[in-house]
Amino acid sequence: MSYYNISEELEDAILTIRIDRPQKLNALNRETIQELHEALKEAREDEEVKVIILTGAGEKAFVAGADISEFADFSPKEGKRLAAEGQEKLFNYVAEFPKPIIAAINGFALGGGLELAMAAHFRIACDNAKMGLPETSLGVIPGYGGTQRLPQLVGKGRAMEMIMTAGMIDANQALQYNLVNHVTEVEDLLDFTKEIARKILRNSTVAICNAISAINANYEPGKDGFGVEIDMFGKSFGTEDFKEGTTAFLNKRKAEFPGK
């Protein structure tokens, strides 16, 4: 499909999706959220796509927030619907995606941009990146999962401080907070991220999908994460990937998983 607000590049099973609204510092509007949903939906069904990298076009921003002009005059009912639809269509969709999604943060990741990065399975930032949830400075709170995912990643106290002060942290502080996994030079960000993606590609896509489900279960209210792990562990024994992986190990050779 062709898109207006995003671009895609598929190379060696790695799909790079760029949010591309440079005139708005890649801010998320409803159209961009819909396009991201459609691109991810297509990638989910595409057997050639094994790992996805989300990043921003240009050197200034990953996503500098939501497009405030779209909802500045919303009523409480409209605001609630905006958050609910956005979470279902994009942010939860990313978090629960069965293929690995890595956020490559190439500049400002603010508000909805940081919420999108936090929904990804993990994050890598360039050294000039800035991250924050500035919503309280606008008289509102994060609505795309920020109040839930930020404490999970950095702890309750740090999340409270970041949200209450509406301040930004730099990439090194984000690394210290465990908000990002790695920090790279600006020019190395995508190459470094793709190198990690290639490491993921060596392993079983079926097992990785099951691992995502098991890990996510720990953060879902009312779910027994240990029970989901047990179920997914048992399920693995019935897969061709398990047969290949164990056979390769016992025969001291490299596994060639089905579907690669």
| Catalytic position from the list 59, 115, 161, 220 | 115
| Whole-angstrom distance, CA of residue 62 vs CA of residue 176 | 20
| Catalytic position from the list 59, 70, 135, 229 | 135
| Whole-angstrom distance, CA of residue 27 vs CA of residue 111 | 9
- Residue 26 backbone dihedrals phi, psi, to 5 degrees: 60, 25
Residue 44: strand, helix, or coil: helix
Contact (CB, 8 A) for 163 and 172? no
- The residue to which tokens 């509102």 are assigned: 140
Which tokens hold the place of 135? 């919503």
- Residue 74 backbone dihedrals phi, psi, to 5 degrees: -70, 150
Q: Which residues contact 229 (CB under 8 A, 6 or more apart)?
A: 214, 217
Residue ranges of the alpha helices (H) in the chain?
30-45, 76-86, 92-95, 112-119, 146-154, 156-165, 171-176, 189-201, 205-217, 225-236, 240-250
Closest CA to 85 of 2, 144, 1, 10: 144
Angle at which helices 205-217 and 225-236 cross, to 10°: 170
135 as an active site residue: the answer is yes
Annotated active-site positions, please?
Answer: 115, 135
